[in-house]
Amino acid sequence: MASPRVCILRAPGTNCDHETAHAFERCGAVAQRIHLFELLENPALLRDFQTLCIPGGFSYGDDLGAGVVFGSQLQSQLAETIGEFLLRDTLALGICNGFQVLMKARLLPGGTTTWPPNLDQPPAATLTWNENGRYTALWVRLRCQTTQNVFLRGINEIELPIAHAEGRIAVRDPAILDQWTTQGQIALCYTDEQGHTPSDGTLLPYPENPNGSLANIAGLGDPTGRVLGLMPHPERFIDATQHPRWTRHQLRGEGAGLQIFRNAVEYFQK
């Protein structure tokens, strides 16, 4: 079977595209870095790919807010192209700034069920400034909260680095959490050192919940399980030696983050 093709969609300010492409290639995919301007000129390019990934960085300098400009371009200039892509048996992944882009474009949390978005209605959720008001970079513990997301298959707990200033999930109506839970859309949550996340939604303190995100949410999926957005960076932990305590924990071989990319590749190989 031919290797699945991954479009790593970058924009001015994106700076994690090489690492993300490398992670997919390590798992057997063919990854191609495509500039947003190329796709705007020729939207049909996306038909050649099975997975769309928007990597981390600071698209457009985050000047109007993290992911705002990039997200608005997907929403307005590429709405038909993205819709056509989502209707196929495809996957979409947004990492850090990519997650912010998916949220600002309103591709998440609804995915195919709400695309293209109704711009006459305000968004149900967004990613906004960390509670501490600062850019924060550290390692966090995460627990998978769903069994249906393709990218998270076989993952129960995982430790990954975060590096962002606007990673706090905020919602217009807290009742939407029940909908997300029912539909298996809460993908990843921050945990304490024992791997526990409060079941009643009580916020963990900093640094366990590094941004004050509602219900300790670190990642969201869509109802189909084919779309994932997460604030942590799995592409920064694809080798054991990238962990800051790899010698103390005697880690060897692959880093835990590689499984997220492998799951995407194996989805098409199976």
CATH number for the domain that contains residue 166: 3.40.50.880
Q: Mean of the pLDDT values across residues 224-231?
A: 98
Rg of the chain over Cα atoms, rounded to whole angstroms, equals 17
159 labelled catalytic: no
The average confidence (pLDDT) of the chain is 96
d(CA 29, CA 93): 14
- Given a cut of 70, is residue 255 above it in pLDDT? yes
d(CA 159, CA 232): 9
Q: What is the pLDDT of residues 148-183, one digit of tens each?
A: 999 999 999 999 999 999 999 999 999 999 999 999
* Domain assignment of residue 156, given as a range: 5-269
Number of domains in the chain: 1
d(CA 188, CA 156): 10
What angle do helix axes 97-105 and 68-76 make, rounded to 10 degrees? 40
pLDDT of residue 270: 77
Task: Give the single-character DSSP code of 97.
Answer: H
- Amino acid symbol at 25: E
Given the residues 96, 164, 166, 243, the one annotated as active site: 96
Q: Mean of the pLDDT values across residues 127-152?
A: 97
pTM of the model: 0.97
22 labelled catalytic: no
Maximum CA pair distance of the chain? 54
Q: What is the pLDDT of residues 176-219, one digit of tens each?
A: 999 999 999 999 999 999 999 998 889 999 999 999 999 999 99
Q: What is the pLDDT of residues 90-112, one digit of tens each?
A: 999 999 999 999 999 999 999 88
Given the residues 7, 53, 159, 235, the one annotated as active site: 235
Given the residues 27, 166, 233, 243, the one annotated as active site: 233
Among 57, 108, 5, 74, smallest CA distance to 233 is for: 57
Among 89, 117, 71, smallest CA distance to 227 is for: 89
pLDDT > 70: what percent of the chain?
100
pLDDT of residue 1: 65
84 labelled catalytic: no
